Amino acid sequence: MSNQQEANKENKLWGGRFKGTTDPLMNLYNSSISYDSKMFKEDLEGTRIYTQGLQKLNLITVQELEAIDTGLTAIEKEWVEGTFKIVENDEDIHTANERRLGEIIGKEISGKVHTGRSRNDQVATDMRLYCFNNLNQKIIPFLKDLIQAIIERAENEIDVLMPGYTHLQRAQPIRWSHWLSSYATYFSEDLERLQQLTQRLNKSPLGAGALAGHPYGIDREFLAQGLNFNDVIGNSLVAVSDRDFVVEIMFWSSLFMNHISRFAEDLIIYSTAEFGFVQLADAYSTGSSLMPQKKNPDSLELLRGKSGRIFGNMAGFMMSLKGIPSTYNKDMQEDKEPLFDSLLSVEHSILIATGVISTLAIKPENMFKALTMDMLATDLADYLVKKGVPFRETHHISGECVALAETLKLSGIDQLSMEQFKKIDDRFTEDVFEIFDFEQSVEHRSAIGGTAKKAVLAQLAKLQANL
């Protein structure tokens, strides 16, 4: 037997069946260690609990279990300290850890850790653990920090008024805090969806074997409890092949980044010289290599751009998944790179968005100057509604007032005289001029979800309570 054939037999978990050598390019094409090594901790913990299950079946002794535990602890230390050495035939994290365990405690003992286990249920377990830990230790806390930063800013700047827009046209006056609250609401709903997702994710595939279940009757509930799963996947075929949780995380990431993208787009527009509502901190801006006056919102543009990349991750993996026959197939190895990229991109995006919203400066005077009296046309219609005129009629009357002011080239409908108002509709009286007040306009909208100060503060209080 050649040295290469010996390496196939000794180092590959599947090498015993094969006599010939593997194409070196195939080794590279097949390998996932370059990216799945980030699951080293979850892989070691899965082996630690799994071998406890084997010991309960008397398939390994207490002394062997202690040796395995010592070896796993040593391997984790090497990974953490960056001293773990990946060798040529370490095609994935499972192979690498088991190979190293044999070097530390001897192959006679390490060779027992895979009893009744397959890399099919092993990788499914590792991925679920990794995703659950990542979401709960990073994404969820960081997302809460973003929401908290928005809430605090909204509370502190509750008195600032600005135009609200539809179709990017000035529509009605709102509070800056109301705009902030809208995105805090989107992100809070994202948080709720993510928390629901983690519960569906938190189910154990361990002990399902390659596809048909465990030949020695291992206690799968014991394994699940040891790894802090809240349930066991009840069908072994599903346990090894289900990647719905990967798709769901990618879908969640795509939807969240859609919200981040819209948030970024608004701030990009508000930061232009034409608007001048906000100014980004230097820490989240860049300059031009040619034009020294430029201050570019690159942080926001990257947030907007990465949303497309993350959606592409989801769409690409869905295409890989859609035609796979039942149980495990190697196509499923394509889940990790887009998943890990999405998780890392979302993590960084949340941190950047939090930094942007925490440090940007607002220009309340520019926001207020952008308010124009024609934005109170609806208030003019509401004025007549309160006098008993049907809204459809008041809408038409208000429109006539706007048209007349434009024809006369007046600065706003508030510049019409009492006589001109009466000419359009004799139900106008002197108190009509009292409606031309932006603060009064936002305060009139006091129903739940409105722009009145008490309504906005109530929104913020509810968002805070949800955290």
CATH annotation of 373-466? 1.10.40.30
For residues 18 and 8, is the Cβ–Cβ distance under 8 A?
Answer: yes
Residues serving a catalytic function are: 167, 288
pLDDT tens track of the chain, all 467 residues?
444 445 444 555 545 555 666 677 777 777 899 999 999 999 999 999 999 999 999 999 999 999 999 999 999 999 999 999 999 889 999 999 999 999 999 999 999 999 999 999 999 999 999 999 999 999 999 999 999 999 999 999 999 999 999 999 999 999 999 999 999 999 999 999 999 999 999 999 999 999 999 999 999 999 999 999 999 999 999 999 999 999 999 999 999 999 999 999 999 999 999 999 999 999 998 866 667 666 899 999 999 999 999 999 999 999 999 999 999 999 999 999 999 999 999 999 999 999 999 999 999 999 999 999 999 999 999 999 999 999 999 999 999 999 999 999 999 999 999 999 999 999 999 999 999 999 999 999 999 999 999 999 999 999 999 99
Which two three-digit tokens encode residue 22?
């593997």
Q: What pLDDT was estimated at residue 362?
A: 98
Q: Which fold has domain 31-115?
A: Fumarase C; Chain B, domain 1 (1.10.275)
Q: Residue 453: helix, strand or coil by DSSP?
A: helix
Q: What pLDDT was estimated at residue 26?
A: 76
Domain limits of the chain? 31-115, 120-369, 373-466
**Residue 14: count of CB within 10 angstroms of its CB:** 10
Provide the sign of the torsion angle of the four alpha carbons 216, 217, 218, 224, taken in this order. Answer: positive
Determine the Cα–Cα distance for residues 220 and 125; give it in Å rounded to an integer: 12
192's CB contacts (< 8 A; 6+ apart) are: 466
**Residue that is written with structure tokens 């080293």 in the block:** 40
Which two three-digit tokens encode residue 456?
């906005």
The secondary structure element, H or E, covering residue 161 is strand 161-166
Give the residue among 39, 91, 42, 376 at the shortest CA–CA distance from 226: 42
Q: What pLDDT was estimated at residue 255?
A: 98
Architecture of domain 120-369: Up-down Bundle (1.20)
Which two three-digit tokens encode residue 284?
């989240």
Distances (CA, A) of 434 to 233, 373, 438, 444: 66, 12, 11, 13
Q: What pLDDT was estimated at residue 16?
A: 56
Q: What pLDDT was estimated at residue 420?
A: 95
